[in-house]
Amino acid sequence: MELRELHAFVAVVEEGGFSAAARRLHVSQPALSQTVGGLERQLRVRLLVRSSTGVRPTDAGVALLGEARALLARRDQALRAMARHTGGGGGVLRIGIPLEFPARLLNPALTELAEVCPDTRVQARHLSTSGQLAALHADELDLGLLRERPAGQEFDAMLVNRERLGVLLAADQAAELSGPEGLALDALTGLEWLAFPRSDSPAWYDEVTAILRSHGLDLGAQAPEGQRLIAEVKLAAVSAGRAFALAPPDWSQPLPEGVTWSPLVGHPLVRRTWAVWTADSRRQDLGRLLAAFEQPSTG
């Protein structure tokens, strides 16, 4: 039994199905099914029950889920601990930051880094996931905060945040469409989704669009490459009453009068952010920053 098999099993349970888990892990669905099936054969027990509504763990699967999460957490803890004891600090630490990354995570981490590594200067760049990945490959970043976990062995990654996305909507529309538990995705039929370009984060884009389409939303044309979905664009379009935008509950921008944020019923959209760095990095200051990040939030 290998950690990658446990990681695959946990992803399937957390995502509620093989398709979403395959997108999360950047593998094909048949390969993921083969991995989980191999784990079941090794353990000689059925771990998952498949149905028309998705996948759920058996009693044995629930038992393994707790153990697997504990093992994976210990692995991540060990990686962070070793990162703190390797290489030297100082110089410039180059960090890629996506739009809407919460300050409640970044600011305390950078403050702690400044205290323990005063000789390190942080250079931050706002880049899309694809832009950060290209910069990591080109050795132009030391750490990226990506909406997708890269495949392969070249990079290490640590999940640092999970956000249950809600919807920005004109206040009068939200009052009309929302129920006691929030707003159902299918209630947004007829409104335009303010989309980010697929080239910014292909796997995350595909996950979002698949979920939106499964709730009957017509997404229209893709956003043009290079378009930046900044707060001002979201708020202006939503205020006009013809569109909706996705946003986390702790969105940093103040909402103008006439625009409101609503949670989504069932929390169907969870945005994850990974800290990603080159696997052979030996920077002590990078290890310190990784150790300073809080445990993944449920949003």
Residue 129 — pLDDT band, cuts 50, 70, 90?
A: very high
The pLDDT of residue 226 is above 70: no
Query: Which pLDDT score is estimated for 259?
Result: 92
Residue 80 has pLDDT above 70, yes or no: no
| CA angle (33, 65, 75) in 5-degree steps | 95
How far does CA 274 lie from the centroid of its chain? 6
Q: How confident is the model at residue 90 (pLDDT cuts 50, 70, 90)?
A: low
Q: pLDDT (tens digit, 9 = 90+) per residue, 9-35? A: 998 999 888 888 887 776 678 888 888
- In the chain the beta strands, taken as DSSP E runs, fall at 48-51, 54-57, 91-97, 120-126, 143-146, 155-164, 166-170, 192-193, 243-247, 259-262, 270-278
**294 or 235: which carries more pLDDT confidence?**
235
For 37-72, how does the pLDDT look when each residue is reduced to its tens digit (9 = 90+)?
Answer: 999 999 999 999 988 788 899 999 999 999 999 988
